[in-house]
Amino acid sequence: MFVAAIVVLVLVDGGLIYAGIKFRDRPGHTAQQFHGHNFLELLWTVVPTIMVISFSVLSFQKLNVMNDTSGAGMTVNVQGQQWTWIMNYPKEDRFKLTDGTFLRGAQELHIPVNMKVHIQLSSKDVIHSFWVPNIGGKKDAVPGRATDLWIQADRPGTYKGQCFEFCGTGHADMLITLVVHTPDDYGTWIKSALTEANRLNDPATKTGRESFLALPCTGCHTVLGTTAAGKVGPDLTHIASKKSIAGGAVSPVNEDTLTRWIHDPQALKPTTQMPNYHLSDQQVHDIVQWLLTLK
Ligand code: CUA
């Protein structure tokens, strides 16, 4: 299409400039008045018609190729939600966690190189659009309806993508990181992702984790590997390894300080934006037990 458009541009603008110079009004020349030219009119009706029809046919053919997810090596279910992407890996043994569920991720999508990967798109709330420009076309994720596309990367590496449908205030932050691995490397990644997910899913800290993920905490904080993907507050993925948090107001980070902090953040740091949710002692205890495993 680009080549055809360049040819048309050169022909049309070339003719225009040529005629403008050659037939311009100047002393000794009189403008020739005429009306209609059957051949030319036929030419500029028939040629564009043929071109537009061919472009439509080509586009439809390409669309069929883009929509054909058959022969895909794996299917990942990708769900858009305000404002992150949840990647649900296939329900295959190699992605199975110790608690019987399957590997999930947020924002980052890991796939092997040279494999056709079927992306099954859905949305939890509003319309989002999945787009990794260097890898393929974009497709909307529509609430209440599954849409499909497929991607295939020819080279290992990290590719950046972005939600392409305005979906609210966090739209600009709704990024996608596509990581393409060599086959060996992919196996290694799955192992480490499973280890990490199993740690995050430890049954011993289940109550605290579920409280945390159900409370508004996730609106502000990110914990990689979970659905918590807020951007307003600090990232808590490695909170238990930190020397201090809340700008030094909570130091050192241990059971006692975290408990006091969550009970009443303003008591430790009057200017903090973290609200006091007046959680029960039990809730705070459970959440702290979970946070302490985030090393
Ligand atoms: Cu999701 Cu824009």
Nearest CA owner, ligand 1 atom 1? 128
Distances (CA, A) of 114 to 91, 151, 152: 21, 10, 6
Higher-confidence residue: 28 or 110? 110
Distance CA 104, CA 113 (A): 20
State the closest ligand 1 atom to the C-alpha of 126, by its place in the atom list counted from 1.
1
Q: Average pLDDT, stretch 212-221? A: 88
Q: What is the pLDDT of residue 136?
A: 80
Instruction: Taking residues 257-262, report their average pLDDT.
Output: 91
HSE toward the beta carbon, residue 70, CA cutoff 13 A: 3
Beta strand 104-106 pairing with 84-88: antiparallel
Taking a C-beta distance cutoff of 8 angstroms, is the pair 260, 274 a contact?
no
The average pLDDT across 198-220 equals 84
Nearest ligand 1 atom, CA 80: 1
Q: Residue 42 pLDDT > 90, yes or no?
A: yes
Confidence of residue 49 (pLDDT cuts 50, 70, 90): very high
What's the 100 CA to ligand 1 centre distance in angstroms? Answer: 31
CA 248 distance to own-chain centroid: 34
CA 84 – ligand 1 centroid, Å: 8
Please give the mean pLDDT across all residues of the chain.
Answer: 89
Amino acid letter, residue 257 = T
What ligand 1 atom has the least distance to the C-alpha of 172?
2
pLDDT at 67 exceeding the cut of 90: no
d(CA 217, CA 226): 12
* Look-up of token digits 């990490």: 196
Give phi and psi for 223, each to the nearest 5.
Answer: -125, 110
DSSP state of 239: G
pLDDT of residue 228: 83
Contact 295, 241 (CB under 8 A): yes
Distance 129 CA to ligand 1 centre (A): 6
Query: Average pLDDT for residues 105-117, to the nearest whole number?
Result: 90
Whole-model pTM? 0.65
The residue with tokens 């020349």 is: 29
Under 8 Å between Cβ of 228 and 212 = yes
Expressed in percent and rounded to 5, the helix, strand and coil fractions of the chain are 40, 20, 40
Cα(229) to centroid(ligand 1), Å: 14
Per-residue model confidence (pLDDT) at position 233: 86
Mean pLDDT computed over 274-278: 89
Q: For residue 136, how far is its CA from the centre of ligand 1 (angstroms)?
A: 18
**Measured distance CA(163)–CA(85) in Å, rounded:** 9
Measuring from each residue's beta carbon to the nearest atom of ligand 1, which residues come in under 6 Å?
80, 83, 128, 163, 165-167, 171, 174
pLDDT, position 95: 86
